[in-house]
Amino acid sequence: MVRYYCPYCNPKYQFQKQSLKGNLICGLCGEDLVKKPFIRLNQIIALVAASSFLLPLIYTFIFLIKNQINTPNKNYQANGILIIIIKEKIS
C-alpha cells in the first residue's frame, strides 16, 4: 500500500480527497499529496551505523558462549615438562 502525505499539514488532521482529475489532494489545504517512500536513505544509513556497533558485540558474545560450552583442552602438565627440559638444556 502506497502512503501519501501532505508536506504542509499536521499528520494528525490529514485526510485524502480525490480531485476531479483523479489526483489525491489534501482535504485541509488542497495541495497535492506526496508519495511516502517505503525505505528512505536515512533509514539505510541508520541501519548501517547501528549494525557497525552491534555486530562486534554479538560476535563477541557468540564466541564467549562457544568457549564456555566447548572449553579448550589445556594440558598444563605438558607445558611444565617442556619448561624443565628447556632449563636442563640451557644449563
Q: Model confidence over 4-50: pLDDT tens digits?
A: 888 888 877 777 778 778 888 888 888 888 888 888 899 999 999 99
Total domains, the chain: 2
27 and 45: one domain? no
28 and 46: one domain? no
Task: For residue 53, name the pLDDT band (cuts at 50, 70, 90).
Answer: very high
31 and 45: one domain? no
49 and 8: one domain? no
Within 1-91, strands assigned E span: 3-5, 16-18, 24-26, 34-36
Model confidence over 65-77: pLDDT tens digits? 888 887 666 655 5
Contact, 24 vs 17, CB < 8 A?
yes
- Which residues are CB-neighbours of 36 under 8 A, at least 6 positions away? 2, 3, 4, 5
Residue 32 is part of which domain span?
3-36
12 and 49: one domain? no
